[in-house]
Amino acid sequence: MRATSFRVRDGKVRNLAGHLERLGLSEAESQRLRTELRQRVHDAAASGAHAINPIIWADTGSWTIDVRPDRTIKSHIIMDAHPHNDERRQPQVKGPDLMWLSTRMNITKGRGADEGLLKAPSGRIIEGIYAHLIALHGNKVAVSTHPRTLRSITAAQVIPYLQQCGMTVVERTEGFTLQELHEAEVWDLNAFSGIRLVTAWAEYGDVIDVPAGRAAAAQVPTSEEVNRWLWEQADVV
């Protein structure tokens, strides 16, 4: 069973093609699913909901679409500095481990944070609980290419765009160190929230603000600017 979820706003989805590909459906099946999704979006808009959060479950040519209400999105977030051991059974497939991830997120929120980290046995950071992380420093953007990293639909758009803006991609094949994340400008990417900027860390019961100023070079677009660009590129359902 595979799953994908995203935010629909005014009938548009960021990188809808990437979400349909994630489900492993045939082209004909994807077209039928898209038609059904379009009707669900139309029905929601008719009832006054112009933004929704669908989750689609697919398995061997069949699927279900659960339409969930929109939620408030924070543009700046607190990251939990105490990572969880990555115990996902199928880390490269979205769906099978969502219940386990939910338990980790509950722990993280209990620590006063908005997002948490998953770590490898080495202690290196693989990714966020519900997010793909990128670390910007100067003109470089570091990405985790650890084998247990889930392919990110949002990063598939963001990384090439940052390269077009002159940034160099640096792959972290074993994941990030916590020190690197603390010293960088960290963007938290997921398909519902888009890009959220990490502006504080929850550590040992305290919330520690990230120092003022940007770790990324001045000419690098901000997370807010790239978020606007993502919606400009969004697909009509």
Walk along the chain (237 residues) and give the pLDDT tens digit of each residue. 999 999 999 999 999 999 999 999 999 999 999 999 999 999 999 999 999 999 999 998 899 999 999 999 999 999 999 999 999 999 999 999 999 999 999 999 999 999 999 999 999 999 999 999 999 999 999 999 999 999 999 999 999 999 999 999 999 999 999 999 999 999 999 999 999 999 999 999 999 999 999 999 999 999 999 999 999 999 999
Q: How far apart are CA 6 and CA 173, in angstroms?
A: 27
Q: How far apart are CA 177 and CA 206, in angstroms?
A: 21
Q: How far apart are CA 1 and CA 120, in angstroms?
A: 25
* Residues near 50 by beta carbon (within 8 Å), at least 6 away in sequence: 9, 10, 44
Q: Residue 60: what pLDDT?
A: 86
- Token look-up 């999704």 returns 37
The partner residues of 85 in beta bridges, in order of sequence, read 119
DSSP string of 3-35, one letter each residue: EEE--EETTEETTHHHHHHHTT--HHHHHHHHH
**Helix, strand, coil fractions of the chain, as percent rounded to 5:** 30, 35, 40
Residues 90, 1 contacting (CB under 8 angstroms): no
Q: Residue 22: what pLDDT?
A: 96
Q: Residue 61: what pLDDT?
A: 85
Domains plus CATH for the chain?
2-71 (3.30.470.10), 76-232 (3.20.10.10)
Identity at 157, one-letter amino acid code: Q
3-state secondary structure of 100: helix
Is 116 exposed, middle or buried (CB count within 10 Å of its CB: 0-12, 13-18, 19+)? buried
CA-based nearest residue to 156, from 6, 19, 29, 7? 19
